[in-house]
Amino acid sequence: MALSIFSPSVSGMQAQSHALGEISTNVANMNTVGYRYIDTTFKTLLSTSMYSSAVGGVEASDRQIVSKGGSMITTDNPYDLAINGGDNLFIVNDQLDGKGNTYYTRAGEFSVLNVDNSDGTSDNYLATTSGYYVMGWQADANGELTTNLGPLLLSVPGSVEGNATTSMQIVANLPVSDEVGSSETFGLPVFNAAGESHNLGLTYTRGELANNWTLSYEIEGGTVTSPLDGDVTAVFNTDGTLSTPTTMDISIDWDDGTSSTFTIDASSMTQYDGSKEIYVTQDGNSYGNLSYKGFNTDGEFTATYSNGVQVLVGKVAQAYFTAPQQLEALSGNIYQETALSGEAMLVGNGENDLQESTFMVQTIEGSNVDIADQFTKMITTQKAYSSAATTFKTADEMMQEAIKLKS
């Protein structure tokens, strides 16, 4: 009798033993942040020999179920993030310059890693608990995200200086029913170079000509030097929209000896029925202290100051794979791409935006291990192992009977 009769039962015990090991790993990581359970499947083994054309067996095959989400757990850490659904992953790198090994993870248990610079200063970077740098896009001085992917720097100044107003936009309505000689005054906030706020009184006086209004100005803490009162006449079209001037350059000499000039965009002014209304936006601001910093649901890290100024610092990047189950799992709850998983596709900041997921702030994603399911698989695996062992024992008894025939 050929020794090949042992092969199927031996491979069966080996495969089931392997499966039990992976089940044990899943159970051990049921509380590991971002862990994805391993699913063991089996495939047939066939080989040929001079004695048999089909010696059967079985082989275990593993896959990590990356696409199934875990439970969401709220934390007190403002740097914790969870990707809200989908198959996307965080991108991390083991080097500060972002040129090291790139890995991927769903574990958003993040913190700030302080890195010393050669000039004696230090910077704060978003990092994983294992010390990997979280990748993202930094914002430039104008608050626009750059296209260079790199470790996300979270350092922000503790205060912002005051800035003079350089541009202003007003959306306002002058009542068409106002009589000749009547006036409507709008209060406009204007900041000087020191970041001090002053009120500019912009007065429109109804003229004798239809749809004409004459402008005059009064600023607290200074003098409007250009244009002078009466130099500018606002003319409206018959449909109530503004004809001229749609923009005005205002020059001010401040009482402290400084001066400033800014442009008013009045193109959205109207002359309709109803009351006087105004909405003002402008780019000046006072001095402000940092009052809040943190992430929003778009993965953007912003800093907010006491003067109302909000600064975009950067944005966390996401990666998407066509076959995430084929990623290779590594120690530390990270993955690396393989030929079967395909190359990582960047998501966010104009890259594959339709694939982008939102984030849950101060939240971490737990493992996707279903403990009841794992116990069920454990029982099934134990039974399969016992059956393979019984088959092996029976084959051994048959072999012993064959040996006795020779004696």
Answer yes or no: is pLDDT of 48 > 80: no
Answer yes or no: is pLDDT of 25 > 80: yes
Residue that the structure tokens 């790993």 belong to: 25
Q: If you ran DSSP here, which 8-state letter would residue 3 be given?
A: G
Is the CB of residue 165 less than 8 Å from the CB of residue 263?
A: no
In angstroms, the first-to-last Cα distance of the chain is 15
> pLDDT band at 102, cuts 50/70/90?
very high
Is the CB of residue 131 less than 8 Å from the CB of residue 119?
A: no
* Residue (of 177, 182, 175, 224) closest to 202 by Cα position: 224
The DSSP-derived string for 213-274 is: EEEEEEETTEEEEESPTTS-EEEE-TTSBEEE-SEEEEEEEETTS-EEEEEEE-TT-B--SS
Pick the range with the lowest mean pLDDT from 55-69, 113-127, 135-149, 193-207: 55-69
Buried b (16+ CB within 10 A) or exposed e, 245-277: beebebebebeeeeebebebbbeebbbeeeeee
Same domain, 190 and 261: yes
| Residue 201 three-state SS | strand
pLDDT score for 52: 52
Residues 240 and 273: their CA atoms lie apart, in Å, by: 9
Q: 134 versus 275: which is more confidently predicted?
A: 134
Answer yes or no: is pLDDT of 389 > 80: yes
Residue that terminates a domain, selected from 282, 317, 337: 282
Give per-residue pLDDT as tens, 344-380: 999 998 888 888 999 999 999 999 899 999 999 999 9
Same domain, 334 and 398: no
Same domain, 248 and 104: no
Same domain, 37 and 54: yes
Answer yes or no: is pLDDT of 170 > 60: yes
Residues 354 and 82: their CA atoms lie apart, in Å, by: 18
Same domain, 79 and 150: yes
Percent of the chain at pLDDT > 90 equals 72
What's the domain count of the chain? 3
Identity at 304, one-letter amino acid code: T
pTM assigned to the model = 0.77
Residue that terminates a domain, selected from 217, 251, 282: 282
Same domain, 296 and 148: yes
Residue that terminates a domain, selected from 282, 298, 316: 282
How far, CA to CA in Å, does 285 sit from each of 258, 288, 306? 17, 8, 10
Is the CB of residue 35 less than 8 Å from the CB of residue 368?
A: yes
Same domain, 360 and 375: no
Same domain, 376 and 274: no
pLDDT score for 3: 62
Same domain, 215 and 314: no
- Read off the pLDDT of each residue in 262-283 and give the average, rounded to a whole number: 93
> pLDDT band at 2, cuts 50/70/90?
low
Residue that the structure tokens 């994603």 belong to: 365
Residues 62, 66, 69, CA angle at the centre, nearest 5°?
135
**Structural domain of residue 129, as residue ranges?**
75-158+290-365
Same domain, 146 and 294: yes
Same domain, 194 and 259: yes
- Read off the pLDDT of each residue in 228-240 and give the average, rounded to a whole number: 95
Average pLDDT, rounded, for the chain:
91
Pick the range with the lowest mean pLDDT from 58-72, 102-116, 153-167, 244-258: 58-72
Give per-residue pLDDT as tens, 297-339: 999 999 999 998 999 999 999 999 999 989 998 988 899 999 9
Separation of CA 339 from chain center? 27
> pLDDT band at 397, cuts 50/70/90?
confident
Same domain, 154 and 296: yes
Which element (helix H / strand E) includes 72?
A: strand 72-74
